[in-house]
Structure 1
């Protein structure tokens, strides 16, 4: 192939992609090696630029070793050069999806306007692919941070101090989310992520880059959680997918488990218990690989919640028992920052939450287990966990209403509403629905009617 303009649009011969060296480079998404191998085949920098839609200076930088991470860029390169997408891990492995998740991912060509159930299956397929060993970057990633221009240029080479800066910012932003809700800090998270993503193109020692992958995975996880908390489910899914891939790239099984737990929580919130359970079970694979009893405990507790929603009281109770056992063996002092939230108070909260669901779906007598557990959680949650406290107050009110203690239930419900003032969280509104439903069922009682009015006023505000 020459450098003449007439050659620019000519496709590269298919056999170029079949050599062992090229297949390895494509599988590793090492675009720098791919371009160097194309140059050996006589493809010029100008041809590569024209086919991929890049500038010649970009191609030159990549040839010199610049990493390409963003999914949209990788996809454009693959399509422009004529690379089969599967060679770069840009297509789902259907066999993996079927064997691990139990459902194949549907093609977007077959269903252009995807409904939520299709999106869930696609994420499950990708989660299975990554969790079971395919360390791929960007398969489900959306335009999560590109829209926010960075105001601070990233360094050309990074050290551990740069990574620690990302980690510190993530801890601070997570704390704000817990205390005030995702709506309070989501924009700040995305802005921090916009800057942090640039670090991926900087040079640095291997150990620094590995830790950077994990740090950015955690930041993406916070971005996903705050997006979910504000009702942006599709955006959350994109962030969690990026977090999953980066955590796998950084070799952090505990963080892989945590990301899968958080996306499973999104599905629980949507009352898609079966899909949530599949993610939690995938998360258990990573949690057990990591050797983190605390991560295992988190997954067990949430599996119990999913089984409760499915009406399986026996399995839910067994998993709550295992949650307690794993938590008792966990080394809390050395736990990673993203799982430190799961302390004794949160164990009580999960026990109370699971029995609340069982009281609603299986047998009202589960209130006798839910009420003491939720009461302990409410008592021990501080201002730093204001949102969790509201969740538990509204669940506690629901249980008292279920028991027929309307006066006390309404009083607790009003406390939940008072505590929710100032929180910027759509989930708080959504999690109050069971309390509202039980109060409406008892509308002949003046306290219950007052609670319903207060809830409606809260929603309206």
Structure 2
């Protein structure tokens, strides 16, 4: 049960809420669920990631959410072009935050405390989760549980589950912008808190327990990806295994497919190509119960990457063809939220990786070039990754000047992105180009890259 102070706070918040009639009017005759589906569709159109459902729409219309977070703001302004947040019935962000001015950029741009400058009333719990250190109990407190966590007596409700789900979204958003290296250690804190809830808490309803399992599993995958991208292979493998176990316990096919998808990717990067194939195939079996062709497309691409690593061109091409068939069926409402990154640029990039593994570097470079050209610049980390792939493929294909030019573009982006994976690819590019220093622009790239490496 909530404490008296918590209960009074909730009652005070409810009494202050003013129904958002303007937003309710925009929904028209659509049900909250139908309107939520329209919001998710609009988000996909602009490459944004939101997890909108009827419950969220209800909270907005009830006035509980006075100002949407930045992701929802972009989606709503896209849906209702020409209207302002005020026209939609929302309160200015500065008033919601009590007049607090925007937090200045810190000296180190990759620290998760940057979330202070891009967070609203829905995300305050997560901010505390990132900023709190110490034991699992203290981390759990940072997700709103208080310090007196008592096994088998703590009731898990909407606030706790919402905090876990919001943690997943914020980690993904920060990774899209800045890469994994500055995030991994801090992201482990909300992960410990989420599993403390699973181990020590009791959900009031089955639906709440299911959401908590799914949220904790997705959080484990997100933290695993940060470990993966920052070169911590063993840590990543452990987190993915934890997510898979959570999926199996909860009977969650979507979470299981996601865990296998990332496990396959990690295995391929670690040179365990047979495991990459088997994991991708297992993921496809789990995803077969879902209505998401795009998820099946991504898993087929993961399988193709494993076959390419094994040097099996025929099997790789069959998997790529299957991936295209699924991809061409388009997006669907059943597509998992975490797949917001998977659009045409990623399709091209994963094909580039396959052809590179098969030694067809010119073909790989063509796909990598298309990936970089199509990528939305807001996804800074992926743009840097695609250009790093392009630079390496061009260097191996015997196009040193073009490789150096792409390498410079990656170095420009490394002012914003910290990713050991990308830095490793750039180091490989420099190694290939060493013997061609006199080619146009290569010497300047090698010198600049060397300076960056010495500063790290």
Q: Distance in 2 between matches of 1:411 and 1:148?
A: 50
* Aligned residue number for residue 253 of structure 1: 253
Residue 446 of structure 2 corresponds to residue 452 of structure 1: yes
- The match for 2:418 is 424
Equivalence for 1:154: 145
Alpha-carbon shift at residue 225 of structure 1 (Å): 0.9
Q: CA deviation at 1:244?
A: 0.8
Shift of 1:300: 0.8
Following the alignment from structure 2 to structure 1, what is the Cα–Cα distance between the partners of residues 381 and 304? Answer: 21
Q: Partner of 1:95 in structure 2? A: none
Residue in structure 2 matched with residue 350 of structure 1 by the alignment: 350
The separation in 2 between residues aligned to 1:436 and 1:276, in whole angstroms, is 28
Q: 1:429: Cα distance to partner?
A: 1.6
Q: 3-state SS of the aligned residue for 1:329?
A: coil
What stretches of structure 1 move > 6 A for 4+ residues in a row? Answer: none
Pick which of 157-166 and 293-302 moved more.
157-166
What stretches of structure 2 of length at least 5 have no aligned partner?
1-133, 147-153
**Residues 311-340 of structure 1 deviation map (CA, whole Å, 9 limit, x = unaligned):** 222222221111111112243444111222
Of 168, 171, 174, which aligns to 1:173? 171
Q: Is the 8 A contact 1:378 1:392 kept in 2?
A: yes
Q: Do structure 1's residue 267 and structure 2's residue 272 form an aligned pair?
A: no
Does the Cα contact within 8 Å between 2:290 and 2:334 map onto a contact in 1?
A: no
Instruction: Find the structure with the greater CA-based Rg.
Output: 1
Does the C-alpha gap of structure 1 residues 163 and 370 become closer, same or farther in structure 2, counting only changes over 3 Å? same
Do the aligned partners of residues 149 and 161 (structure 1) sit closer, same or farther apart at CA in structure 2, a change above 3 Å counting?
closer
Q: Name the CA distance, whole Å, in 1 between partners of 2:278 and 2:159.
A: 38
Alpha-carbon shift at residue 446 of structure 1 (Å): 5.5
Cα gap change, 1:148 to 1:298, in 2 (>3 Å): farther
User: Aligned equivalents of 1:420 and 1:238: distance in 2?
Assistant: 28
CA gap 1:248/1:330 in 2 versus in 1, 3 angstroms: farther
TM-score under structure 2 length normalisation:
0.63
Q: Secondary structure in 2 aligned to 1:187?
A: helix
CA RMSD of aligned residues (A): 2.3
Counterpart CA distance in 2 for 1:455 and 1:304 is 32
1:215 Cα offset (Å) = 0.7
1:147 Cα deviation (Å)?
A: 6.4
| TM-score computed with the length of structure 1 as normaliser | 0.62
Unaligned runs of 5+ in 1: 1-144
Q: Deviations over 1:281-301 (max 9, x none)?
A: 222221223343222111111
Q: Is 1:284–1:296's contact at 8 Å kept on the other side of the alignment?
A: yes
1:33-72 CA distances to partner (integer Å, 9 max, x unpaired)? xxxxxxxxxxxxxxxxxxxxxxxxxxxxxxxxxxxxxxxx
Aligned pairs for 1:36-435 (under 5 A) are 149-150=138-139, 151-152=141-142, 154=145, 156-200=154-198, 201-203=200-202, 204-358=204-358, 360=359, 363-364=360-361, 367=362, 369-435=363-429
The size of the alignment, in residue pairs, is 311
Q: Secondary structure at the match of 2:446?
A: helix
Sort the Cα spacing of 1:428 and 1:146 in 2 relative to 1 into closer, same or farther, 3 A: farther
- 1:429-444 map, 5 Å: 429-444=423-438
